[in-house]
Amino acid sequence: MRIAQIAPLAERVPPKKYGGTERVIHALTEELVRRGHDVTLFASGDSITSAKLVSVHPRNLREARLKNIYTANAWLFHNIGLAYSRQSEFDIIHDHNGIYGLATANIASTPSVITMHGPFNLEDRKIFRALRKPWVTSISKSQVLSVADLHHAGTVYNGLSMEHFPFSATHDGYLLFAGRISMEKGVHFAIEAAQMLDLPLIIAAKLEPTDRAYWREYIEPSLSDTIRWIGEVDEEERNRLMSRAMAFLHPVTWREPFGLTLIEAMACGCPVIGFNKGSIPEIIAHGKTGFVVTDLDEMVDAIDALASIDRTACRVRALSNFSATTMTDGYEAVYRSIQEGKL
């Protein structure tokens, strides 16, 4: 098949550090190319890919220090517009820009699939119900529970090429939080759990200007020799930290559509303890690869019960259920079903 993949421009594909969506797009694109598909990736010019790369901007927008990089901006619409203007070259267009690509996809003649990588808020639901021509894929079942009448092609869980991730059957006695510092990620709960058990916690996360008030009130006062913030790290360092952590804490305070760091931690053999929000119970096998808990007290109890978790089982679940191969199988099935009129 001739397939277009339209990535956001905020981060490189794959990202140098933070950027879950871009890691997923990279894994999918590379696996599609490996399977013999003719793939064109519309992404930032510094992206690394085996596909044909088309770009409207030479660098990812974060490194270029442009404003509003994660929302609607001129470069984003230029990228989307260019991809759809070449629609006759493709059998399928796979758009990863959510509602920003929806209007263009709705008048396109080439079949399009939009993967929603974020939550469906009230406005999103209305727009997706009104502009129903493009097919929509979700990244978890919980993501679409509140979205009636969606032109839904199915759920395809995110996957990554994690076979090379380091694995450790033992740990170094510290807890780990990784990703982004924000109220919705619940970093303060991870800190409280570590303090209650007198355990070291490493916070490997980026801090955006919009989250500095939360940082000053909830995080900075608690930093110490045992509660350490080391900033944003690259994939190699993050994976090393995951492989040696006794547990990965994921106390999100919102209905997260998919927790990519959860599958990465499990691939390194690290059990995951997450709050029962959104997709979390779809990813963690409770009692086998970690624990799904409802509050801080249950998180503390779960940390005390970590000896019951087999770290090998964590890796097996990640590589079996959330690999790039499994994800690509899912998207290939969607593409073919659309082309054959089976959806």
Q: Tell me the whole-structure pTM to 2 decimals.
A: 0.94
Q: In whole angstroms, what is the distance from residue 86 CA to residue 82 CA?
A: 7
- Per-residue pLDDT at 66: 86
Only one residue has tokens 């807890």, namely: 175
Report, as an integer, the average pLDDT of 229-245. Answer: 95
Contacts by residues 33-40 (CB-CB < 8 Å, ≥ 24 positions apart): 35/328, 35/332, 37/1, 37/2, 37/3, 38/1, 38/2, 38/3, 39/3, 39/4, 39/5, 40/2, 40/3, 40/4, 40/5, 40/86, 40/89, 40/90
**Closest C-alpha to 27, from 170, 196, 161:** 161
Enumerate domains of the chain plus CATH numbers: 2-161+323-339 (3.40.50.2000), 175-321 (3.40.50.2000)
* Cα–Cα distance, 156 to 14 (Å, whole number): 20
210-219 tens-digit pLDDT: 999 999 999 9
Which tens digits make up the pLDDT trace of 32-70? 999 999 999 999 999 999 999 999 999 999 898 888 888
Find where tokens 């939080």 sit. 177
Q: How confident is the model at residue 97 (pLDDT cuts 50, 70, 90)?
A: very high
Say how far apart CA 253 and CA 61 lie, in whole Å: 28
User: What is the Cα–Cα distance from 171 to 167, expressed in whole angstroms?
Assistant: 10
pLDDT at 157: 98
E strand or H helix that includes residue 249: strand 247-250
Q: Using the structure block, give the residue that is written with the tokens 């089976």.
A: 342
Tell me the pLDDT tens digit for each residue of 117-173.
999 988 889 999 999 999 999 999 999 998 878 999 999 999 999 999 999 999 999
Number of neighbouring beta carbons within 10 Å of residue 288:
15
Q: What is the spatial distance between Cα 36 and Cα 59, in angstroms, rounded to a whole number?
A: 28
Interacting residues of 172 by C-beta distance below 8 A, sequence separation 6+: 244, 245, 246
Q: pLDDT of 4-20, one tens digit each?
A: 999 999 999 999 877 78
SS3 label, residue 201: strand
Sign, CA dihedral 135-141-143-147, equals: positive
Q: How confident is the model at residue 27 (pLDDT cuts 50, 70, 90)?
A: very high
Cα distances (angstroms) measured from residue 320 to each of 76, 107, 283, 325: 34, 38, 12, 9
Tell me, what DSSP letter sits at residue 109?
Answer: S
